Amino acid sequence: MARFSVLANAVYANGDRQIASTAVPTNLAFVTVYVDVTDIAVAGGKNSGVRILLEFSLDGGTNWGLPFVGELRGGQPGGPGGPPSPPFISSIGIQIPDPLNANRRVRGTITVFGGPFRMSAEAEFVTYP
């Protein structure tokens, strides 16, 4: 399935940005959020980053499951031969149970800390990671 935008490419100050409640298509079991962290990696430093909270519902949004929280921090990326060429894309994903349930939804929060910095985020539903 194609990726869709959950946070437009812009400069964001510290604080929370909501990922709206979104229906999960049947037969798809995972959602992955991809974050362009190029500005965080290059200019943000190790005390900058984003925290992503994702949670799911099996009943159309009446009740929400335990949240999954992941954190992406800044700092110059490294590796053999030096840092890779931008863009730097990181991802966080969760499995969503009951793939035949048409009432599933996912929502979340992206929290910026150590900003401001430029970033964007997209999401994608898939059968398997």
CATH number at residue 41: 2.60.120
pLDDT for 121 equals 93
Contact 31, 115 (CB under 8 A): no
Q: How many CA atoms lie within 13 A of 46 on its CB side?
A: 1
Prediction pTM value: 0.84
| Residue 129 pLDDT class (50, 70, 90 cuts) | low
pLDDT for 21 equals 95
Domain that holds residue 87: 4-126
Residues 76-106 have pLDDT tens digits of 555 455 555 667 788 888 888 899 999 999 9
Average pLDDT of the chain to the nearest whole number: 85
Number of domains in the chain: 1
